[in-house]
Amino acid sequence: MVILGAVTGAINAEINQLGVESVSPGLAELASSLARSVDEADAPTARAVAARELRAVMADLRKLAPVQSKGDAVDDIAEQRAKRRAAARQQAAGG
């Protein structure tokens, strides 16, 4: 069983959430590898270098992430309005 470090686990979770692994598998793997380097580094300088590179790679991955449509208040209001209109049309049609 492989035990993931804190940084590796967090980065892998973010990559999954972003849904970028299929868009850029190499960059996603590089991010995961850099995260492992951060977790495993003994020297503070090595950890800092790996962390800096990891931040840059994650910034690139975030830019590549597909836009996810999540409902907001405006979407909720529009949905409620559509339901009311449909109900009014049905009532006006005699149903």
pLDDT band at 1 (very low <50, low <70, confident <90, very high): very low
> Residue 25 falls within a domain, yes or no?
yes
Measured CA to CA, the distance from residue 86 to residue 31 in angstroms comes to 49
Q: Which domain holds residue 16?
A: 6-69
> Residue 18 falls within a domain, yes or no?
yes
User: In the chain, how many domains are there?
Assistant: 1
pTM: predicted TM-score of the whole model, two decimal places: 0.68
> Residue 65 falls within a domain, yes or no?
yes
> Residue 62 falls within a domain, yes or no?
yes
pLDDT tens per residue across span 73-88: 777 788 888 888 888 8
Question: Which region, left, alpha or beta, applies to residue 5 given φ > 0 means left and ψ of -120 to 50 means alpha?
Answer: beta
Measured CA to CA, the distance from residue 69 to residue 15 in angstroms comes to 18
Measured CA to CA, the distance from residue 23 to residue 62 in angstroms comes to 11
pLDDT of residue 12: 96
pLDDT tens per residue across span 57-76: 999 999 999 876 666 677 77
